[in-house]
Structure 1
Amino acid sequence: MNKCSVCGHERNDRDMKCPECGSYYSKIAEIIAEQEAQEEMQTFRGQCKRILNSDDIKHELLAELRLIRSRLTKRGMFALFVIFVFVFALVVSVL
């Protein structure tokens, strides 16, 4: 039998959460924190953090753009192309 690191309540090895204080035991807390960190890195905010925290921002930004481009289908690439052409045409017509 081990004890809870927060309240000191004795627990069984099969328990994942302390019945007294409700805190998760260290192994479970580590797994949850790791999974949350992985999910964070998949979001736009996580991608921006990864780029800004990099030593070589330009290289990391290009790597992210390559990754985004590799995930796009041909239809998605065509849609982006049409959007850029349309915006370019609007800018040129205004000037």
Structure 2
Amino acid sequence: MNKCPVCGHQRNDRDMKCPECGSFYSKIAEIIAEQEAEEEMQTFRGRCKRILHSGNVKHELLAELRLMREGLTNRGMFALFVIFVFVFALVVSVL
């Protein structure tokens, strides 16, 4: 159940018009807002917000890292390994 944006009357999702004030509901605006919220949660910023606002930051961060690791292919894992080895070799050579 949502509320009417004009009068605040409780409404069903199937209703197209408010029975109290007679204003029409904008389904398109609601759908766009829902999609924007979903897209925001998939961005780096949204993921950081979700991690920081959770009760257990450490647990949420580990879960997020696990999800990222599961999404990588073997080729992606190998590429990350090569990058880390290259950076390590550069650091050691400078010292």
Q: Work out whether the TM-score is over 0.5.
A: yes
The one-letter code matched in structure 2 to 1:55 is: G
Q: For the residues of structure 2 that align with 1:26 and 1:54, how far apart are their CA atoms? A: 32
Structure 1 residue 91 and structure 2 residue 85: aligned?
no
Q: For the residues of structure 1 that align with 2:25 and 2:78, how far apart are their CA atoms? A: 50
Structure 2 equivalent of residue 58 of structure 1: 58
1:1-95 matches, cutoff 5 A: 5=6, 25-95=25-95
> What is the CA RMSD across the aligned residues, in angstroms?
2.5
Q: For the residues of structure 2 that align with 1:87 and 1:57, how far apart are their CA atoms? A: 28
Q: For the residues of structure 2 that align with 1:40 and 1:27, how far apart are their CA atoms? A: 20
Report the identity percentage: 81
Deviation at 1:31, TM superposition (A): 2.3
1:25 match: secondary structure: coil
Q: For the residues of structure 2 that align with 1:43 and 1:33, how far apart are their CA atoms? A: 16
Q: For the residues of structure 2 that align with 1:50 and 1:32, how far apart are their CA atoms? A: 21
Give the alignment's TM-score, normalised by structure 2: 0.69
Deviation at 1:58, TM superposition (A): 1.1
**Tell me, which stretches of 5 or more residues in structure 2 are unaligned?**
7-15, 17-23
Aligned residue pairs: how many? 77
**Tell me, which stretches of 5 or more residues in structure 1 are unaligned?**
6-12, 14-23
Q: For the residues of structure 2 that align with 1:87 and 1:62, how far apart are their CA atoms? A: 24
Q: For the residues of structure 2 that align with 1:59 and 1:26, how far apart are their CA atoms? A: 39
Deviation at 1:83, TM superposition (A): 0.2
